[in-house]
Amino acid sequence: MLPSELTALVVFFEQLGLALCGAACLWGIFFSVNAETTKEEGKKKIFNEISNKLFIPFTLGFVISTLVWLIRIFSRSGFASRHTFNLFSNLSQMSQYVERSVPVLWLVFIFFSLAFIIFSSFWKKKFPHLVRTFYLVSFILVFILISFPTGVANFTNDHLFFIKHGFPLIFTIGTVMIVDFLFFFTRSSLRAKRAIFPYFTTLNKFIWIGLGIHFFTDWVNAAQIALTPVFYFVQIVTAVIIINGMLFTGPLTEVIISGVSERRVKPLEKKWGIISGISGVISFSSWTSLTLATLLPNVPLSLSYLLAIYVIKLVVIYVAFLFIEWMTDIPLSFVNTN
């Protein structure tokens, strides 16, 4: 049986993969619907292409979540906590989730996804016609799996914890990763930027909705919250997310959309290129840290150590971002007119 802290990390990556799958399905459907409603052929083509390309992050999330779930199955592990949050306290009950309804849904999700991946590899021409249906069915399955990772029998507060901290991840960290993917995918095409960037405000609204759900559920259960170092760390990281979100949905979004407008095309100023990269890194790093901290509310580290780890994580991810940018040789600039 895995130690509870290690199991928390395993659950974190499973939830992370499912959040990416769910967000890819959600926004894949969104852009597919927009492709049908728009009258401009150029945008129709771009929306369809974006919808199809979102199958890439879906596949990545599918691989991550499936591998992690298999680890949980073969370890036969529950998630036990002996600390103040009293989450996953009934180990015997939680460990039995492998024998109940969730594995059936997991197997359906795995075989359904694998079948579609194989199908799309051999019959690529039919892929665009079936991908929206695939996204819809997969989103329903992911929504259930991310909300009930420990099963649905003998409903307890532990199950409720996952419901209120599960599906909002599709709107928060999952959508954050989709925004990053859209940035990366459209970097070499001005036409794609003009079609996609105006919708970033819509994506960010869903991120705020997810954050609002977290706030509301935590406020409802405020009396049960222990004032641990992790609690204060979560409040600080949440404040960082809010400040970063206000920047991204405000002046930065205006600059990004203005830079690719049809009236004028101008390069992104160096300072805004740096701000854009830092903002994306802060967003991804903060949401992953917040999600993991929620699963480990009583990790035996002081607030200063937690903040130090958080800062180091930011630096590492930003260096990785710069390395990817250097390897692809495509700077964050909107002068490309392809």
Asked if residue 36 is part of any domain, the answer here is yes
pLDDT value at position 161? 53
Instruction: Judge contact between 129 and 144, C-beta under 8 A.
Output: no
Q: Is the separation of the CB atoms in 182 and 31 below 8 Å?
A: no
258/334 Cα distance (integer angstroms) = 10
134 falls within a domain? yes
pLDDT at res. 220: 54
| Residue 225's pLDDT band (cuts 50, 70, 90) | low
Residue 55 has pLDDT above 90, yes or no: yes
Structural domain includes residue 39: yes
- CA angle centred on 170, ends 176 and 231, rounded to 5°: 80
- Asked if residues 145 and 101 have their Cβ atoms less than 8 Å apart, the reply is no
Cβ pair 80, 89 in contact under 8 A? yes
- Does residue 334 form part of some domain? no
In tens, the pLDDT along 233-272 reads 888 888 888 888 777 666 777 777 776 666 555 666 667 7
Is residue 61 situated within a structural domain? Answer: yes
| pLDDT score recorded for residue 141 | 92
pLDDT for 123:
78
pLDDT at 269: 65
Given pLDDT bands bounded at 50, 70 and 90, which one contains residue 63? very high
Q: Name the more confident of 208 and 48.
A: 48
Q: Is the pLDDT of residue 140 over 60?
A: yes
Collapsing DSSP to helix, strand or coil, 282 comes out as: helix
Q: What is the C-alpha to C-alpha distance for residues 32 and 146, in angstroms, rounded to an integer?
A: 24
Instruction: Report d(CA 261, CA 40) in Å as an integer.
Output: 16
> How many angstroms separate the CA atoms of 92 and 181, rounded?
40
Give the C-alpha separation, 231 to 298, whole Å.
Answer: 9
Compute the average pLDDT of residues 84-106: 48
3-state secondary structure 113-133: HHHHHHHHHHCHHHHHHHHHH
Question: Is 50 exceeded by the pLDDT of residue 86?
Answer: no
Instruction: Show the beta-strand stretches assigned E in 70-158.
Output: none
What pLDDT, on the 0 to 100 scale, is given for residue 82? 37
Average per-residue pLDDT for the chain:
75
For residue 161, give its domain range: 4-328
Q: Please state, in angstroms and rounded to a whole number, the distance separating the CA atoms of residues 81 and 296.
A: 9
Residue 187 has pLDDT above 60, yes or no: yes
Whether the predicted pLDDT of 329 surpasses 80: no
Number of domains in the chain: 1
**Which comes out higher in pLDDT, residue 69 or 324?**
69
CB proximity list for 203: less than 8 A, separation 6 or greater: 27, 175, 178, 179, 182
